[in-house]
Structure 1
Amino acid sequence: MFQKARLRRFGIAGGALAVAAGFAVATAFAVAPAEAKPVKDNSAHTTTPIKHLVVIYGENVSFDHYFGTYPNAANTDGTKFTAAKNTPKVNGLTPALLNNNPNEYNPQRLTPAQAVTCDQNHNYKPEQAALNNGAMDQFVQNVSKDTCTGAFGEPGLAMDYYDGNTVTGMWNYAQNYTMSDNSWDATFGPSTPGALNLISGQTHGISSYDPTSGTTNPKKTATPDSYTVVDPDATTGVGTVINDPDPVYDDCADNNHTSSNALGGLSGKNVGDLLNEQGVTWGWFQGGFKPTTTAAASSTGYAICGSTHTNVAGGSSVDYSPHHNPFAYYKSTSNPHHLPPSSVDAIGHTDQANHQYDTSDFYAALNNGNLPAVSFVKAPEYQDGHAAYSDPLDEQTFDIDLINALQKSPEWKSTAVVISYDDSDGWYDHVAPKITNSSNSATNDTTICTTAATKGVPALGGYQDRCGPSQRLPLLVISPYTSANTVSHTLVSQPSILKFVEQNWKTGSIGGGSFDKTATSLSVLFNFSHPQNHGVLLDDKTGAVSKIIPINNTPTHPKPWTPSKGHGKGGKDDKGDKGHGGLFGWFTW
């Protein structure tokens, strides 16, 4: 999303729309959710002991950028890290890759003092070019951004990495729970495609909307908008999103509607729709979602999202980023005016907030004892980990505060926290992807994708511009139902989280070419047979382990977990990856 210079990143742009025009457009955009028929609350009806799933969705980190040298830290600065003797190895940066890398620069270790760095080029096509058809040797030429204002930069910056002296919290979670070294960004490109792949496994189906009238731009030829929609249908204008257009169903889009960029809206279903149909509570919680000026109090009729914070380097940014909210692209799951929940008890249920909340509402629900079954949590920008305006230290504070609060709650014994990311930011990762979904766009794809297409690799649903997977991303599962100090080597991707939700709450699937059809379920990272009987609290500033607390994780179910008859046993990849029983349909609770 770095490329969207046309949208303000560090403050509220000046100017305002005329009052009359503002109210007209607000009426066009502010579509209330349809009145839903009452559905029985099925939140507790799961196929595993996980009753609460919390997904912390961070920004822009490759696997090697955070875990390339795991579990070995330099211990020359920052927080000291010493790994347990039995720590399994990861597919990381070998001595050869560190000292004789095929790229123009060798990877260099970044210190805690260099936490805020320049943002790399992570567009759809440059990311493909960096991989150089699998040679993994063109990162510096295509994605490295070495100089910038107010952040650290150096030649070949895209090659660089942190270790356990900076991302200490992440490494300690890996020590005590389960991580993956084979988790992938489903497609190439920046934040919006990654966010959409999390909730629907689908980046096709986007239409361009005029920001003033709220009406669709019917054809690319009639109203050129190659940024919002790529390879659109000549008649309908519907195509694929590979960039970061703001969502149409959001008052705070386009810099609180002070800009004039086209907006994007998606057709089809997302996981929120599935959960609503099944009667399962859920919510998207994002920092800065609570408006600083409500729509009713605004002169334009739009809510204004203006809260800001500073990162560890003193840089300030607006907390809320509209294009980080994937549910706002769908009419059915949007809350255009950023209305608050009607009560704390209503959080997770369908009311005027329509499942879209501020992060403060997450803590309110947790403290009130009504944590939704499925929660997606997005930090405010300064804590989301994105280079240029955030950093791993601020990200660590946000993640640890939230996870500590969960571990101290009664819900922890049936909770799983997933830390995942939307894209790689273009940061170097040495593992070449095996393209499993091809694309042959003359404009947007390079040889790594087009060659796959010519060799018969399918494009799911027949849609172009969804080439992937692209690069490895960090993935951790923190739960009593994971094995401590375990590394899974089974290939998963962002839609694996979606598939976990679908199977655990028996929602059915998205369909329509969604990657949930081909994704491996996140179940491979759990161990439902032998839950841990403690929680591990970390210091939110240093990332060090501060306290081990006991938990009562005795299952409340009448029967212990057993795989159903007639199915094979879970696989065993290698040291650290035990398989844990195979696919979700095999569990009975």
Structure 2
Amino acid sequence: MRTKSAVVICASSLVIGAFGPALAAGNGPGAKAHAGKDTAADLALIDTVVVIYAENRSFDNLYGSFPGANGVAKAPASTRLQRDRDGKPFHELPPVWDGLTAKGVTPPVTQAETEHLPNRPFYLDDPKGFKLSYGTITHDLWHRFYQNQMQINGGRNDKFVAHADSGALVMSLWDGSKTAMWKVAQKYVLADNFFMGAFGGSFLNHQWLVCACAPYYPKADTNPAKPSIAVVEADGVTLKEAPNSPKSAMDGIPKYVADGNLTPDFYAVNTMQPPYQPSGNDPAKDGDKAYADPTKPTTLPPQIEPTIGDLLSLKHITWAWYGGAWQDVLDHGNRSPVPNFQYHHQPLNYYANFAPGAAARAEHLRDGGLAGSEFIKAIDDGKLPQVSFYKPQGDLNEHSGYADIQAGDSHIADVIAHLEKSPQWPHMLVVVTYDENGGLWDHVAPPKGDRWGPGSRIPAIIVSPYARRGYVDHTPMDTTSILRFVTRRFELPTLHGITVRDAAIAAHDEKPLGDLTSALVLKDK
């Protein structure tokens, strides 16, 4: 008789009548995309799902030299060679504007030290080059909705430098073979054809993890957010350049008429702040202290789209989103550099179903603890819900600009070690992935999908007693593949965004996106 295990994915409650057509009956077009021949009985071997969501790394940036993977050595010369904004190849890469390392890093790597790099990818930890360690915090890079599409350039991936604010840094790589998670990937499954769910940055990709949707700001043109509306060319993809924008990336960072957070039809695609605390926007002067000031241009109104949590709750499936340092920030406010809590990394804090005082908020938005201590306690005690999402606090999430690779990688590997010893481990599936590429180059063209994505390729590691051992999975997948697995395993309705994505993928004659089962061998143990 087997012990019941947990599935951990960080992600609520639902009034179904409010959502109308946002939910599709059954599994929709994506039902044919399931990679295995596994039956419902096979999938029932997985009792617990855990999703660990790190930050801002492309596949090539960390795993581009992983044996058996589609790595940098397989990149066509046409994608390695970067082109300027006029389409002509660079003779050399521009410098890393403002220097390679983040402010305050000692010793710094200055802008002057990054001049005259050849027009190709380069390793930051090359002993004959910059000799940086995994513990180095590097400069941050643009990772925004329109820029990501302009960098991908129709799948050619040759304009990452041209549409960046960091010059050559977008072409930087690490030999990740000495990281702790590399060893985890060698033991279990590394997916080398896994893409971020949406173009751009953390805000939108966290929304795609829980909702498969782009948030909406009604009547933004008559509200405080009006200055955040982007000005885009007729193609709907390209930002309109300002007259004073440098003509060449060698001369400086591009400038745009309006590189806003909202599309011209009011969808929020770049970072907006939650309407509830904790938020990057303080409460209104005389307003409810549990809310963010709604008059601030970057405060997003409460959202009402259904989330994967809502669907799980409808089926009485237990679940939770564990936010690292969540309660500490509520109690004491944010602190830098530790825990450096990132408000827009808590996607369910944008939804009306999880407003302050709501029962669903208290039940499902849980404190992960400082350094994940509360989440780890739940793991060790065998008390994880059936589906858990875990978001590490800022200094442990691997985000360029304020976090290094080593601390976050070691933390996640430690969490994996606890999961492997958990009473729930025998029937568990763990997915470790990154929200998006952080503006860093990757050579593989994303599948052609819908208006929102998929975006660039990112690492994903599937860990489970049922995982194929020492396997590189080439199945095309994206962030929504996690939702596909949860939907299939727990027999949920399909979120509307997944139905749209599947139809778009099929219309472009792309291979259907998988649901993680290709990484598993589902046989009772």
From 248, 252, 262, the counterpart of 1:229 = 262
The one-character-per-residue Cα deviations of 1:546-566 (angstroms, maximum 9, x if unpaired) are: xxxxxxxx64xxxxxxxxxxx
Taking the aligned partners of 1:34 and 1:275, their CA distance within structure 2 comes to: 9
| SS of equivalent residue, structure 2 residue 80 | coil
User: Does residue 528 of structure 1 match 2:522?
Assistant: yes
The 8 Å contact of residues 200 and 514 in structure 1, kept in 2 or not, is answered as no
The 8 Å contact of residues 380 and 423 in structure 2, kept in 1 or not, is answered as no
User: Does residue 288 of structure 1 match 2:316?
Assistant: no
Question: TM-score if structure 2 supplies the norm length?
Answer: 0.69
1:402 corresponds in structure 2 to 415
**Aligned runs of 1:482-501 on 2, under 5 Å?**
482-501=467-486
2:456 corresponds in structure 1 to 471
Contiguous gaps of at least 5 residues in structure 2 = 1-11, 17-39, 83-92, 94-118, 126-131, 230-259, 284-291, 504-512
From 193, 216, 230, the counterpart of 1:206 = 216
Q: 1:45 to 1:195 in 2, by over 3 A?
A: farther
**Aligned runs of 1:151-300 on 2, under 5 Å?**
156-166=168-178, 168-203=179-214, 205-207=215-217, 218-221=219-222, 223=224, 224=226, 225-226=228-229, 227-232=260-265, 239-254=266-281, 260-264=296-300, 265-292=302-329, 294=331
Taking the aligned partners of 1:95 and 1:517, their CA distance within structure 2 comes to: 28
User: Does residue 358 of structure 1 match 2:360?
Assistant: no
1:213 corresponds in structure 2 to none
User: Does residue 510 of structure 1 match 2:511?
Assistant: no
Taking the aligned partners of 1:388 and 1:255, their CA distance within structure 2 comes to: 24
Taking the aligned partners of 1:48 and 1:434, their CA distance within structure 2 comes to: 30
**CA positional deviation for 1:328:** 1.1
Taking the aligned partners of 1:417 and 1:335, their CA distance within structure 2 comes to: 28
Residue type at the aligned position of 1:472: R
Taking the aligned partners of 1:196 and 1:182, their CA distance within structure 2 comes to: 21
**Aligned runs of 1:11-160 on 2, under 5 Å?**
47-71=43-67, 89-94=68-73, 101-103=80-82, 104=93, 105-111=119-125, 113=133, 115-143=136-164, 145-146=166-167, 156-160=168-172
Question: Root-mean-square deviation (CA), in Å?
Answer: 3.0
Aligned identity (percent) is 28
Residue type at the aligned position of 2:80: N
**CA positional deviation for 1:250:** 2.9
**CA positional deviation for 1:471:** 0.8
The 8 Å contact of residues 284 and 377 in structure 1, kept in 2 or not, is answered as yes
Q: 1:356 to 1:515 in 2, by over 3 A?
A: farther
**CA positional deviation for 1:98:** 8.6
Q: 1:165 to 1:174 in 2, by over 3 A?
A: closer
Q: 1:180 to 1:352 in 2, by over 3 A?
A: closer
Q: 1:99 to 1:162 in 2, by over 3 A?
A: farther
The one-character-per-residue Cα deviations of 1:175-206 (angstroms, maximum 9, x if unpaired) are: 11011110011221101111111111111x42
Q: 1:486 to 1:372 in 2, by over 3 A?
A: same
2:103 corresponds in structure 1 to none
Residue type at the aligned position of 2:445: A
Residue type at the aligned position of 1:108: F
Q: 1:516 to 1:370 in 2, by over 3 A?
A: farther
Q: Which has the higher helix share?
A: 2
Taking the aligned partners of 1:109 and 1:376, their CA distance within structure 2 comes to: 32
| SS of equivalent residue, structure 1 residue 122 | coil
User: Does residue 432 of structure 1 match 2:460?
Assistant: no
Higher RCO structure, 1 or 2 (CA under 8 Å, sep 6+): 2
Q: 1:412 to 1:33 in 2, by over 3 A?
A: closer
Contiguous gaps of at least 5 residues in structure 1 = 1-31, 37-43, 72-88, 147-155, 209-217, 233-238, 295-303, 309-315, 340-349, 440-465, 530-553, 556-589
Q: 1:229 to 1:478 in 2, by over 3 A?
A: same
Taking the aligned partners of 1:197 and 1:473, their CA distance within structure 2 comes to: 15
The one-character-per-residue Cα deviations of 1:19-62 (angstroms, maximum 9, x if unpaired) are: xxxxxxxxxxxxx98999xxxxxxx9993311111100111111
**CA positional deviation for 1:129:** 1.8
Q: 1:263 to 1:175 in 2, by over 3 A?
A: same
Question: TM-score if structure 1 supplies the norm length?
Answer: 0.62
**CA positional deviation for 1:482:** 0.6
Q: 1:99 to 1:130 in 2, by over 3 A?
A: closer
1:412 corresponds in structure 2 to 425
Residue type at the aligned position of 1:525: A
User: Does residue 306 of structure 1 match 2:325?
Assistant: no
The one-character-per-residue Cα deviations of 1:419-463 (angstroms, maximum 9, x if unpaired) are: 1111111101011223221x4xxxxxxxxxxxxxxxxxxxxxxxx
The 8 Å contact of residues 305 and 320 in structure 1, kept in 2 or not, is answered as no
The 8 Å contact of residues 152 and 456 in structure 2, kept in 1 or not, is answered as no
Taking the aligned partners of 1:352 and 1:260, their CA distance within structure 2 comes to: 24
2:26 corresponds in structure 1 to none
Q: 1:514 to 1:356 in 2, by over 3 A?
A: farther
Taking the aligned partners of 1:56 and 1:282, their CA distance within structure 2 comes to: 14
Q: 1:376 to 1:274 in 2, by over 3 A?
A: same
The 8 Å contact of residues 78 and 156 in structure 2, kept in 1 or not, is answered as no
The 8 Å contact of residues 335 and 353 in structure 1, kept in 2 or not, is answered as no
| SS of equivalent residue, structure 2 residue 52 | strand
The 8 Å contact of residues 48 and 428 in structure 2, kept in 1 or not, is answered as yes
| SS of equivalent residue, structure 2 residue 363 | coil
Taking the aligned partners of 1:274 and 1:375, their CA distance within structure 2 comes to: 14
**CA positional deviation for 1:261:** 3.8
Taking the aligned partners of 1:190 and 1:512, their CA distance within structure 2 comes to: 18
Residue type at the aligned position of 1:57: Y
| SS of equivalent residue, structure 2 residue 183 | helix
The 8 Å contact of residues 13 and 311 in structure 2, kept in 1 or not, is answered as no
